[in-house]
Amino acid sequence: MNAGTHRPTIIEVDAQAIRENIHHEIKRLHQGNDLFAVIKANGYGHGLIEVAHFVVEAGATGFCVAILDEALELRSAGFSQPILILGIVEPQYAQLLADNKISVAVGSLAWLEEATKVLQSDQPLRVHLALDTGMGRIGFQDRDELKPAIDYLQAHSEQLLFEGIFTHFSTADELDDRYFKLQLSRFNEFMSVVPKRPRYVHVANSATSLWHQVCEGNMIRFGIALYGLNPSGEAIPSPYVLKPAMAVSSELVFTKRLKKGRSVGYGATYTAQEDEWIGTVPIGYADGYPRNLQGFHVLVDGQFCEIVGRVCMDQLMIRLPREYAVGSKVVLVGKSGDQEIKMEEVAEAAHTISYEIVCGFSARIPRIYLHNQKS
């Protein structure tokens, strides 16, 4: 998709905010623990390669991604740090993984057996065993499944390097910690059959690292919080101030005096109750701004302006408090004057989570990087 460089809609990414969020978290880590930055999904919409530079500058020692192509892109860009793919990669790519020193999540003995059939070089494949303690996504189900896999790794140590073991907590961002404690107890049961801990033992995502210090791991997977967003939305306060890295803005490209009784948008879902000023903003659901945000607001000149009518594919309309000139700045996420619209607020209005909003902003919106040391 081509970036829309000839329209005023932009995303600004504050590199210093990312650095500060990582600095705060590194200060809380035990000595010798590693922080792997989760930069999958194009750095949660912030930009894969750009964010990779920022997090390394801030002290991250490795990366987590979701798919092989993301890892290969990092290697092609010259990053030599450890990279862990959190999703399942087909075993046919085992040699490609080994050649590029990319670590992979494995959740079955069958995967290991298939991988060894294609491994031919002296470079071993780095393996992180995934444990399903209650997420129900990937991983070994119990100790009886895990033990043969560990034995297999030991028997094939020239081809397979047992580098890590991990699990993922599904409710670490909730106040009720009963299910979290159940998952933790299951993890400890799994670890009872691990004869020697591998280099990396990791259970902490952003939420776990922020609010649960009971886990005896030596690496954290720092994701949504590095972008300055609270994993719980606003349900649990963060132990330190998270600084949002993304701001979204545009400009008014058309304004008009709408007569009382005239309607706006598809389905004519909004009708003016009196004469009023309406402005058009060039961003829509094709850019990742949710279609269902009619009735939410943006900021113009530090004033909240309601979105009227349904959000269109490429445009949306807002009710202005008075006439504003074409070219006036419109803030969809971020600050204007003394007011601010947070990403969490956009997500709540759209009945989703901030993860989906930031990841959903399309490549059509150019990313502009602030406080970039390389610029």
Task: Enumerate the active-site residues.
Answer: 40, 266
Q: State whether the Cα torsion 350-355-358-362 is positive or negative.
A: negative
Q: How many CB atoms lie within 10 A of CB 302?
A: 12
137 annotated among ligand-binding-site residues:
yes
> Would strands 329-336 and 34-38 be described as parallel, antiparallel, or unpaired?
unpaired
Tell me if residue 342 falls in helix, strand or coil: coil
364 annotated among ligand-binding-site residues:
no
CB 39 within 8 A of CB 65: yes
Nearest to 61 by CA among 213, 243, 222: 222
What's the CA gap between 220 and 375, in Å, rounded? 30
Q: How many CB atoms lie within 10 A of CB 195?
A: 8
Distances (CA, A) of 209 to 87, 200, 225: 21, 15, 10
Nearest to 169 by CA among 121, 140, 204, 201: 204
Residues that constitute the known binding site for substrate: 137, 313
Residues that constitute the known binding site: 137, 313
